[in-house]
Amino acid sequence: MEKDFGFQMSDVGVSRDNQPGLSPTRNPKSEIRNPKTVSRDNQPGLSPARNPKSEIRNPKTVGILSLQGDFDAHAKAVERAGATAVQVRAAADLEALDGLIIPGGESTTMLKLLHAENLMEPLREFGRRRPIFGTCAGAILLANEVSSPAQESLGLIDIGIERNAYGRQLDSRIANVTPETEFASRTSPGDMEAVFIRAPIIRRVGGDAKVLVHYKGDPVLVEQGRHIVATFHPELSTDPRVHELFLQKLA
Ligand code: GLN
């Protein structure tokens, strides 16, 4: 399994210990794919009928693009937030998914692999129907416009993004950010840890896009229609709110 995504978790003091791997694509036997095996059956008053918000009896399935980058950490975060994670390595894996995550890593490498696997058009087509959440390199791949240097992208979210924009000195760090009220009202209030690793900066946000979190005045979590992008790595923190927000967007 490719694990080299151009940076080390230890660079930013984030441990990846105890993170279970992804459940294999469409493995119906996996415990992880069937969270109802750890259900609330024994809890009085929590029958599924009376708990319409529960994802437990009918979990959403989120694909994690697993060609390169930190896809394992996203799988764990998705499962912590109450959905099922499956690997996506080929166009056929996109069938039957409720949403997709494009992880952090190295966007140029991922782009090459996407071409090698003939995944560019299938991903664009998927994004016209279903939500996609891109973190860091994933945000770069989803953007309409990429600079420093310019490179091809999926063009699914109307932002302009500059790669490696914090420069060498601020290469990687863990910051504390205060989400916008909109984010807090759709999840829950409170500051959030934001792990930045050779992060890009979102330089332009289209008219239909909404900034949900800023850091030092720059947008770091942006939503446009069904899609969201983060320039930080919520999958490397224990705060589940960004993944929960994404799960809310799945039909
Ligand atoms: N610097 C990487 C790129 O340009 C992104 C880094 C990341 O995903 N953490 O693709």
Q: pLDDT digit string (tens) for 21-67?
A: 444 444 433 333 433 333 333 334 333 344 445 445 568 999 999 99
Predicted pLDDT at 210? 97
Q: Which atom belonging to ligand 1 lies closest to the Cα atom of 107?
A: 10
Strands 172-177 and 210-215: unpaired
Residues with CB under 6 A from ligand 1: 7, 104-107, 136-137, 140, 163-164, 197-198
Expressed in angstroms and rounded, the spacing between residue 155 Cα and the centre of ligand 1 is 17
Q: Does the annotation mark 115 as catalytic?
A: no
Predicted pLDDT at 1? 40
Expressed in angstroms and rounded, the spacing between residue 44 Cα and the centre of ligand 1 is 47
Residue with tokens 């990687």: 172
Q: Does the annotation mark 233 as catalytic?
A: yes
SS3 128: coil
pTM given for the model: 0.81
How many angstroms separate the CA atoms of 171 and 133, rounded? 23
User: Hey, what CATH class is 58-248 in?
Assistant: alpha beta
- Please check whether residue 86 is in contact with residue 62, taking contact to mean a CB–CB distance below 8 angstroms: yes
Please, which pLDDT band fits residue 170 given cuts at 50, 70 and 90?
low
Predicted pLDDT at 57? 55
Pocket test for ligand 1, best of 8, 163, 235 (most atoms within 8 A of CB): 163
Q: With a cut of 50, say whether residue 198 has pLDDT above it.
A: yes
Q: Does the annotation mark 55 as catalytic?
A: no
CB crowding 142-156: b at 16 or more within 10 Å, else e: bbbebbeeeeebbeb
What phi and psi values does residue 201 have, to the nearest 5 degrees?
Answer: -120, 135
Upper half-sphere CA count for residue 148 (Cβ side, 13 Å) = 15
Which residue would you say has higher pLDDT here, 25 or 247?
Answer: 247
Predicted pLDDT at 33? 42
Q: What is the pLDDT of residues 85-134, one digit of tens each?
A: 999 999 999 999 999 999 999 999 999 999 999 999 999 999 999 999 99
Predicted pLDDT at 251? 81
Predicted pLDDT at 26? 43
